[in-house]
Structure 1
């Protein structure tokens, strides 16, 4: 993990291997970003060279050059912040976060970089620190070290001249926890499915819980059969790696609110008997991203000592075809007694979530949030960088979406049209079908899940199918592969609940 320090030392005095500065678009070329914690003379001298090199100051644009005389580092890295903010306004946190992340990625293999981006208050300090740490992420667990493997930026110093002492320290501490837990989710998502079966995942949860003081309970296949968890068992029936349901909880003695987080944890999704077509299997190790995010958010809440109870439920299974696999046409009896006719075994996430939602609801939390890479339909609706938010309570759905945006995770509120629910009930042999109308498929999936939420409990559903796994090039602080989507949104929601912004149940 990249180390983080804060310093009020001048950029001309701090010794580092690289100095990161911010630039913005000017009328005649790039100009120093207002509010940057670096001497104006140093920035002005560099501006002329940057213009000669073709730099324009566009967002996340990276330009490297030898540092001018007087710098404490031999290398200057200029990162674009776009247009300068209006008078009296600072840069948005997400602009700083992405700029710092882009610079950190560009400095892979560097030992120590000082970031002299605008960081005049705690919010800006947090944004720069988070962006730099998230951007420095690298997944190396399955790579053989070689000459071309530079490794991530090893150490980050954020220059914080002008920032209030207590605020900047708290911001840095939170940034370190947040980045570490986002990295945990990224690591889990990037881990190949032969190294992360449901049992492996459960063992990781147990280890993390012991390290950070959480309680944990793991239901194996025998306990799941005894408890009647037909959804999780049905999805995992075709695999030699049996399923698990894991409960992990952070409890604070002064908390008066409880949030239950439920995560889809399909460690590999072949589609089952309804096998996915060629070209759709290669990234299906990411189908446990929801469960990973739930784990990381719960651990982060514990590490930060948040005055809220957070209970994470990880529904873990591997969806494989075999002679014992659930068939289209089979009927499963879910935990709680509802029966579901399975028409498509590739609509499996909603089946494992249904069991976990009912079980989570038995503990009467004030709110439930489920997180899942659930439908391709959501990607068709919102693309690959935005996740959808649905729910049974307008105020709570808005709170969740606002928390995501505040954390820097693009989210969009989506409806749950009542007429689409009718298609889920058009069966003569069971209570529900696991498929409804094809159009609006992401909303249909949300309506299915709603059937398993207890009355009187606020609930939100996050469909993170698009942003959970980045198959394109890295950008900002987002790497290729697992992104850690939803961890920051869930943590922000937990913080707001601890601050009294979550209404009590019912």
Structure 2
């Protein structure tokens, strides 16, 4: 069961919990206290900061120090999470608060009852900080145990319940509802991405996405291989041809009351990517179960928009296939005809994501949306250019910059990338309209953006988010981010949609 979250305005000394979480900052001369830490310090007779200093705490990001209270409070443990350096105004950025809450949540595994979080850090606990504390705590508590057999009774588990200490529980009601909805959406993405590919093949991902959509009250459509052939989806069929498990196209539609604008979401759903005939090296290939992270993100986002009841029309178009080598697999030198009639010479079967996305983007634009947002684990070049935590965003400048601005608020770092016209030449083909892969390695992320741009008509607002690194964490957990599926970029997609609504 996911942990619960609630708010309380009771004084700290009257609360009962397994642990209390507070934050401290990092200053040039030592620890910086916060209103939450001050409250606990008073309860412990003014000894908290001195004890932290004796233990070597610095207040840096991802630092959590646990101290016993020895009966001096209604909780046995204080978890002090580092917030890093404060902002010029003395407060802390919401993302710093979110990461601190997540780190504390991970550090409190084994404290399976109530954990109280003091949300006031560097100022009043406004809605933005409440979101940060609550999201960080719930996302930090995530664990994926579906394939763990014979879990022992009494094993250490994440906290089962969180309380946010606030001055007004009534004002916290709406933020808490949003916190819960966002955490559930991110959890859905993480669970889908972490599921092994023998259990999450194309038909199964389509079925799980359809089930989530029906639960959220969405209109649902699933096209099987026969319907894809009848509809001219040559790209999706080509990529899926090498697998015994045929491809699918999932469509989820939400119609908001008094909708102010319309948004098409598209997400790459390659349930496993071996590279096809242009096969990948064995090292790291197991991580390619995450190649459907974009699909999972747009499925969760449209369901989240529906749960929040936003005044917008949103349709998710999700191409799903498994890219495997076999006697029926598509080949380098093949020419693929897409739904819109354009033709691409295949020069690399491992550049398959853009091939399925071409059909999905074409179908999504047939609905004439005002905005198109597409996300995918598209290129290894994204990792080379921006690393494991920062996504690259390309497309029409206005929407691209809207996405990047929303990402800063969401805590999912993104960087605006150009589409230099000279790089388009690397897709030239003497056989077809263009190739699916650049003729050299320069600017690979940007060349992939140029390929997608071939399917965007003039004047269409669109943005492509390459999340190849940020969607799947192969390293150690940090902040509220676990190992494995991260849930990126659900929170940015939601924030972008809200910004597009507000702009109308």
TM-score, with normalisation over the residues of structure 2?
0.95
SS in structure 2 at match of 1:355:
helix
- Contact kept, 8 Å, 1:308 with 1:497, in 2: the verdict is no
More divergent stretch after superposition (56-65 vs 363-372):
56-65
More divergent stretch after superposition (205-214 vs 370-379):
205-214
Structure 1 counterpart of 2:255: 251
- Contact kept, 8 Å, 2:22 with 2:36, in 1: the verdict is no
Structure 1 counterpart of 2:204: 200
Displacement, 1:434? Answer: 0.3
Displacement, 1:40? Answer: 4.7
- Contact kept, 8 Å, 1:258 with 1:308, in 2: the verdict is yes
- Contact kept, 8 Å, 1:374 with 1:465, in 2: the verdict is yes
Residue 68 to residue 125, structure 1, CA distance change in 2 (3 Å): farther
Superimposed CA distance per residue, residues 479-504 of structure 1 (whole angstroms, 9 cap, x where no aligned partner) = 000000100000111112222x26xx
Alignment partner of 2:445 out of 442, 445, 449: 442
Structure 1 counterpart of 2:161: 155
Asked whether 1:364 is paired with 2:364, we answer no
Superimposed CA distance per residue, residues 278-323 of structure 1 (whole angstroms, 9 cap, x where no aligned partner) = 2031100000000000011111000000111111111100000000
- Contact kept, 8 Å, 2:213 with 2:299, in 1: the verdict is no
Alignment partner of 2:320 out of 313, 316, 322: 316
Structure 1 counterpart of 2:16: 15
Matches within 5 A, 1:83-102: 83-87=85-89, 89-102=90-103
Displacement, 1:109? Answer: 2.7
Structure 1 counterpart of 2:496: 493
Alignment partner of 2:145 out of 130, 140, 145: 140
Structure 1: any 5+ residue segments left out of the alignment? Answer: none
Alignment partner of 2:468 out of 452, 465, 468: 465
Structure 2 counterpart of 1:343: 347
Structure 2: any 5+ residue segments left out of the alignment? Answer: none
Structure 1 counterpart of 2:268: 264
More divergent stretch after superposition (65-74 vs 137-146):
65-74
Instruction: Give, in whole Å, the separation in 2 of the partners of 1:37 and 1:448.
Output: 55
Residue 11 to residue 68, structure 1, CA distance change in 2 (3 Å): farther
Displacement, 1:79? Answer: 0.8
Displacement, 1:164? Answer: 7.7
SS in structure 1 at match of 2:498:
helix
Asked whether 1:41 is paired with 2:42, we answer yes
- Contact kept, 8 Å, 1:24 with 1:81, in 2: the verdict is yes
Superimposed CA distance per residue, residues 391-449 of structure 1 (whole angstroms, 9 cap, x where no aligned partner) = 0x211111011111111110000000111112212x22211100113200100000000
Give the paired residue count.
496
SS in structure 1 at match of 2:12:
coil
More divergent stretch after superposition (113-122 vs 473-482):
113-122
Instruction: Give, in whole Å, the separation in 2 of the partners of 1:455 and 1:84.
Output: 45
Structure 1 counterpart of 2:300: 296
Alignment partner of 2:478 out of 475, 478, 491: 475
Instruction: Give, in whole Å, the separation in 2 of the partners of 1:455 and 1:371.
Output: 20
Asked whether 1:284 is paired with 2:288, we answer yes
Instruction: Give, in whole Å, the separation in 2 of the partners of 1:109 and 1:257.
Output: 46
SS in structure 1 at match of 2:482:
coil
SS in structure 2 at match of 1:326:
coil
Structure 2 counterpart of 1:221: 225
Q: RMSD over aligned Cα, in angstroms?
A: 1.6
Superimposed CA distance per residue, residues 185-235 of structure 1 (whole angstroms, 9 cap, x where no aligned partner) = 000000000010110011111211121101110010000000010000000
Instruction: Give, in whole Å, the separation in 2 of the partners of 1:53 and 1:40.
Output: 16
Instruction: Give, in whole Å, the separation in 2 of the partners of 1:360 and 1:36.
Output: 50
Structure 2 counterpart of 1:178: 182
- Contact kept, 8 Å, 1:37 with 1:160, in 2: the verdict is no
Displacement, 1:477? Answer: 0.2
Displacement, 1:52? Answer: 1.6
Structure 1 counterpart of 2:79: 77
- Contact kept, 8 Å, 2:8 with 2:169, in 1: the verdict is no
Structure 1 counterpart of 2:238: 234
Instruction: Give, in whole Å, the separation in 2 of the partners of 1:64 and 1:50.
Output: 9
Structure 2 counterpart of 1:130: 135
